[in-house]
Amino acid sequence: MTMSLFSLSKKVKKLKLQKKHTQYSEKSSKAIPSSLQDQIHYIKEKTGNSIDVVIRKLQLSDGNGPDTAVVFVEGISDSKAINDFLIESIMNNSTVHNSRPIFEILFEKVVALGDVKEITDWDNLYLSLMSGESIILVDGTQKALSASTRGGEQRSIEEPGSQVTVRGPRDGFTESIRTNTALIRRRIQNPNLWLENMKIGSVTKTDVSIMYIKGIAKDEIVEEVRNRLKRIEIDSILESGYIEQLIEDQGFTTFPTLYHTERPDMVAGNLLEGRVAIIVNGTPFVLIAPAVFIQFFQSVEDYYGRADIATALRFLRILIFLISIIAPATYIAITTFHQEMIPTQLLVAIAAQREAVPFPALVEALIMEVAFEILREAGIRMPRAVGSAISIVGALVIGQAAVQAGIVSPAMVIVVAITAIANFATPAFAVAISARLIRFGFMFAAATFGFYGIILGVIVLAVHLCSLRSFGVPYLTPMAPLILANIGDSIIRLPLWAQKKRPKPISGDNENRVGDDQKPTPPESRGMVNSVVEKGDQDEQ
């Protein structure tokens, strides 16, 4: 009996909440009432009388005009702009000798802010209010004014921590979407740089913008990005990673099919190639679409230095990626199946080291890999002051203790350490973490079939990469399919004067980016200079 009463009261409470929510929905869909008292009452009721929702009632200077009120959310609005350009302007306004409605006067003359618009329904009013804008209400008017006063405390522009370069700009994106778009516009001062904004998230109403250069970006890709964003139905967008998971082509893969960065110069460079940037409010990481595999091995400073040095570094990064994937697997295959491939003296040394180890090479590698992954994760999650110390000291202590205890051999510690360093050296974190997972698959394949398992794993990996797409663009472009015109900015990097065409699968009608005869040449040959010098010496004699 007690349980039935409890369940009945619970149902009644639930019905009351549903009825209250329905009333809120009906009010939000209706037009704004004319009474200022009712307007303020509805706002307080909808926001739960939250203390950060400030409602300031005002009266005109002559005392004859209708009462007004300014409503804003403290913390996400610019209080100084509200005081200087709204409250003081309204209170100092006089309407004694003016027969025009006060609402029109406020809209045209009084509010001294750049973006002012009329609002006629509750949905747009709440949306503007929660975006940091100020709402101006006038008694006797079924409309409201929305003034752009977005502001509040924001993080200053700093150097990106995840993509550090030796040469290049030192500014990075912040959590403010307007600051981020401004950083890009400072680099591309062109009216064809278009920006489209939309709200995503039924609860959070997060600002999401797409940015592209009209004429350079392919219209089909821009439309595809726009449609995928509009199809999103979710209650919250808290970071660009939400967007990435909802619009990517292939969900079941460890490889990223969208590129993310917090460097404005990298976004500007990709926009100039024809890509589309997706900027999400509240995060410093901007998404770039479409993305190709080789893009994750390129650094922004490759374009700030000499082409031959950049090409050598790209080859090194690809070698580093291969080492991070197959180094432990290679050691397991050699010591388990292919001992004849090891020089005799090295084989004797490895055999002597492994004599006291009771585990096979696979178990030995798994123990060390899991230990290093735990240390790496602990170093990231701990405070910065102690995180690096834990990673370094922990690795040294555990590695030395494991060798002395006979759990692992010294050679395995060296292999795992080289693999970890190679993983850290990968430019893009998204690909580095993919290599960390794929590495374990190669280890099991090597322990089962030796080098045949590694070769089979490479074939499967290549087929998987060929099957991936990023907004319809093949993931291994321009190698598969082979596009010779774009091969100069892939594994190798030709000089800037030789990169005349933008990437074909990505760019639109405007393909040319470098003019003709841009190769640097000296004004006159060395022989002519020598002849002039010799002629001058003869004249002096």
Tens of pLDDT, residues 341-353: 888 888 888 888 8
Task: Write down the domain spans for the chain.
Answer: 25-147, 177-291, 307-474
Report the pLDDT value the prediction gives residue 387, as an integer from 0 to 100: 62
Query: In 388-515, at which residue ranges do the beta strands (DSSP E only) sit?
Result: 469-470, 473-474
Type of residue numbered 517: D
Residues whose CB falls within 8 Å of the CB of residue 105, separated by 6 or more in sequence, listed in order: 93, 95, 98
Tens of pLDDT, residues 445-498: 999 999 999 999 999 999 999 999 999 999 999 988 888 888 888 889 999 888
φ/ψ region of 48 (left if φ > 0, alpha if ψ in -120 to 50, else beta) reads left
Type of residue numbered 272: L
The pLDDT mean for the chain works out to 84
Beta bridge partners of 69: 57, 137
Report the pLDDT value the prediction gives residue 5, as an integer from 0 to 100: 46
Is residue 2 very low, low, confident or very high in pLDDT (cuts 50, 70, 90)?
very low
The region of weakest confidence among 110-114, 182-186, 334-338, 360-364 is: 110-114
Q: Is 448 within 8 Å of 361 (Cβ atoms)? A: no
Kindly state the average pLDDT of the residues 311-321.
93
Report the pLDDT value the prediction gives residue 450, as an integer from 0 to 100: 92
61: tokens are 């200077």
Q: Is 66 within 8 Å of 34 (Cβ atoms)? A: no
Q: For residue 349, which of 419, 296, 411, 274 has the smallest C-alpha distance?
A: 411
Q: Residue 6 pLDDT > 50, yes or no?
A: no
Report the pLDDT value the prediction gives residue 488, as an integer from 0 to 100: 86
Query: In 321-439, at which residue ranges do the beta strands (DSSP E only) sit?
Result: none
Q: Residue 321 pLDDT > 80, yes or no?
A: yes
Is residue 535 very low, low, confident or very high in pLDDT (cuts 50, 70, 90)?
low
Report the pLDDT value the prediction gives residue 195, as an integer from 0 to 100: 94
Place of tokens 């280890």: 443
Around Cβ 498, how many Cβ atoms within 10 Å? 13
Place of tokens 């699968």: 505
Around Cβ 297, how many Cβ atoms within 10 Å? 21
Around Cβ 126, how many Cβ atoms within 10 Å? 18
Whether the ω angle into residue 427 lies within 30 degrees of 0, i.e. cis, is no
Report the pLDDT value the prediction gives residue 96, as an integer from 0 to 100: 45
Report the pLDDT value the prediction gives residue 344, as an integer from 0 to 100: 86
Q: Residue 28 pLDDT > 80, yes or no?
A: no
> CA 157, CA 179: separation in Å to the nearest integer?
9
Count the helices and strands in the chain (H runs, E runs).
Answer: 18, 12
> CA 396, CA 392: separation in Å to the nearest integer?
6
